[in-house]
């Protein structure tokens, strides 16, 4: 992993074996980021995504292996109870061109990833919504 800052933008390169969420969190902690937008692309051969099940109040998880292109990585960084919080979604295309996507739970990079973190001057904390069982923005 390597990154450079350009004003309020951070260009982050991940390398083979790097884990996306862990790497983004590492940069956010190092740079004291409390609010930011994330977007990127790359390659993976091992990832887990989830789709929230409203009845179970938990994610239905799917793990994929084999060559995939990360066609879209999008999300945000903010805080919950004053601590760093990341919320990231990802779409990936397999060799057959079929795209799968959902809430990013785990992703190891197979080649490289190019991610931009746009730092926003501010803070948005999350609060647990017990009825929905999710962590929502609290303004």
Number of domains making up the chain: 1
Please give the pLDDT value at position 136.
96
Tell me how far apart the alpha carbons of residues 47 and 71 are, in angstroms, rounded to a whole number.
13
Asked whether the beta carbons of 14 and 108 are under 8 A apart, the reply is no
Does 136 fall in a domain?
no
DSSP state for residue 28 in the 8-state scheme: H
Supply the range of the domain harboring residue 58.
2-121
Residue 57 has pLDDT above 90, yes or no: no
* pLDDT average, residue stretch 54-62: 93
Half-sphere exposure of 40 (CA within 13 A, CB side): 28
What is the per-residue pLDDT across 35-54, written as a single tens digit (0 to 9) for each? 999 999 999 999 999 999 98
Does 60 fall in a domain?
yes
Does 97 fall in a domain?
yes
**Domain holding 92: CATH number?**
3.30.1330.80
* pLDDT average, residue stretch 73-88: 97
Please give the pLDDT value at position 96.
95
Closest CA to 43 of 14, 4, 23, 22: 14
What is the per-residue pLDDT across 81-132, written as a single tens digit (0 to 9) for each? 999 999 999 999 999 999 999 999 999 999 999 999 999 999 999 999 998 8
Q: What is the pTM of this model?
A: 0.94
* pLDDT average, residue stretch 64-92: 97
What are the backbone angles phi and psi of residue 74, rounded to the nearest 5°?
Answer: -145, 150
Does 134 fall in a domain?
no
Does 139 fall in a domain?
no
Q: Please, what sign has the CA dihedral across residues 136, 48, 75, 14?
A: positive
Does 106 fall in a domain?
yes
Please give the pLDDT value at position 121.
96
């Amino acid at each position: 992993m390597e990154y450079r800052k350009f004003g309020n933008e951070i260009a982050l390169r991940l390398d083979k074996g790097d884990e996306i969420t862990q790497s983004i969190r590492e940069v956010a902690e190092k740079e004291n980021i409390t609010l930011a937008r994330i977007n990127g692309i790359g390659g993976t051969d091992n990832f887990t995504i989830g789709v929230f099940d409203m009845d179970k109040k938990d994610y239905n998880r799917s793990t994929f292996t084999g060559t995939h292109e990360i066609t879209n990585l999008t999300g945000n960084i903010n805080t919950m109870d004053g601590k760093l919080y990341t919320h990231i979604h990802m779409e990936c295309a397999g060799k057959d061109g079929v795209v799968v996507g959902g809430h990013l739970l785990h992703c190891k990079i197979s080649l490289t990833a190019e991610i931009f973190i746009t730092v926003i001057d501010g803070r948005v904390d999350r609060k647990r919504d017990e009825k929905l069982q999710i962590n929502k923005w609290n303004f």
